[in-house]
Structure 1
Amino acid sequence: MPGIARIAPCLWFDDQAEQAVELYLSVFPNSRITGTARYGEAGREFHGKTPGSVMTVAFELDGQPFTALNGGPVFRFNEAISLQVFCDSQAELDHYWDTLSEGGDPQARQCGWLKDRFGVSWQVVPTVLADMLEGGDSPRGQRVMAALLQMQKLDIATLQRACEG
């Protein structure tokens, strides 16, 4: 299966797949649409979509393959699955957080998690966080966790200060 990723997320939207992909492509570098499939007459009694309307958009975000599906209102996103964005700097973290959270659910923002305007959950976290939390039951890990729990958008400098004690 050359050229096809073994595992790739499929995101089920009601009918906003194209709009979501447009947003995500504008946020992440090295991103592109790799294909679009449209509904036909076959199966219309099940999907109820107009022939010719977009069924799926295959795309890549910074090289990671995804599919966005216009599957109708049957399923909704929830926090049981989220997409993680690892950031090397506060500027990078601010960019992803601010852009992805715009128009999203302000009540769903805690500890680096957010929901975008389409209901997709994201975790925007610094790459150093895993090291800071290593040995979570250690005094250092407890200080970092206590600081983390007070934040919506993560602040790397504050987490670093907590890590150092």
Structure 2
Amino acid sequence: MKVTQNLWFDKDMEAAISLYTSLIPDSALEWTSALPAESPSGPADSVKIAAFTIGGQRYQAFEAWRSDAFNHTFSIFVECETQAEIDRLWEALGEGGKFEQCGWLQDRWGVSWQIVPKRLGELTRDPDRAKAGRVAEAMLKMVKLDIAGLEAAAKG
């Protein structure tokens, strides 16, 4: 049994996949195709399908008319080791999209991403709950997450 996330784009599916797979290691486009039959989403060959991986995780995508936009009920969570990784992904994925609090952004296609330092999880799981609380409060005030700021909050 295999589990695969599916993303449904109304346009520019291949551009989105190209960006995603260029930014994150262990990512690749596996294949693309067009649905050869007419469907509720369009005439023959107008509905595109692709399979790809992002960070070793399987995805499938469609490009066709859709009635529902992407929203926060599905997001792609990327845990980064360094601030440089956060900064690089933040700028590339956020270009033409919108930035949100707590490390969230929506890319130009509307897909929600959480760009988070690995250190955040470590700090918020600290047995010193006052320390973890200070880190959480600092994170809630940030848009792009800043490892140095989180570390400073942990120290008090």
TM-score normalized with structure 2 length? 0.91
- Answering whether residue 143 of structure 2 is matched by residue 152 of structure 1, we say yes
- Answering whether residue 88 of structure 2 is matched by residue 95 of structure 1, we say yes
Contact kept in structure 2, 1:36 and 1:54, CA below 8 Å:
no
Task: Tell me the alpha carbon deviations over residues 114-150 of structure 1, each in whole angstroms, 9 at most, x when there is no partner.
Answer: 0000000000000111121126992112111111111
Aligned equivalents of 1:73 and 1:60: distance in 2? 23
Contact kept in structure 1, 2:8 and 2:66, CA below 8 Å:
no
Aligned equivalents of 1:136 and 1:18: distance in 2? 45
Aligned equivalents of 2:46 and 2:64: distance in 1? 11
State the aligned residue count.
Answer: 156
Deviation at 1:15, TM superposition (A): 2.4
RMSD: 1.8
Aligned equivalents of 1:53 and 1:39: distance in 2? 7
Query: Which consecutive unaligned segments of at least 5 residues does structure 2 have?
Result: none
Task: Tell me the alpha carbon deviations over residues 60-79 of structure 1, each in whole angstroms, 9 at most, x when there is no partner.
Answer: 12322111111312121001
Q: How does 1:58-137 map to 2 (within 5 A)?
A: 58-106=51-99, 109-134=100-125
Secondary structure of the corresponding residue to residue 21 of structure 1: helix
TM-score normalized with structure 1 length? 0.86
Post-superposition, which runs of at least 4 consecutive aligned residues in structure 1 deviate over 4 A? none
Q: Aligned partner of 2:28: which letter? A: R
Q: Aligned partner of 1:69: which letter? A: F
Query: Which consecutive unaligned segments of at least 5 residues does structure 1 have?
Result: none
Q: Aligned partner of 1:94: which letter? A: D
- Residue in structure 1 matched with residue 11 of structure 2 by the alignment: 15
- Compare 53-62 and 83-92 and name the one that shifted more: 53-62
Task: Tell me the alpha carbon deviations over residues 6-41 of structure 1, each in whole angstroms, 9 at most, x when there is no partner.
Answer: 222100111221121111122122321111121213
Quick one: which of 42, 50, 64 aligns to 1:48? 42
- Residue in structure 2 matched with residue 140 of structure 1 by the alignment: 131
- Identity of counterpart residues, as a percentage? 41
Secondary structure of the corresponding residue to residue 149 of structure 1: helix
Aligned equivalents of 1:45 and 1:118: distance in 2? 23
Secondary structure of the corresponding residue to residue 40 of structure 2: helix
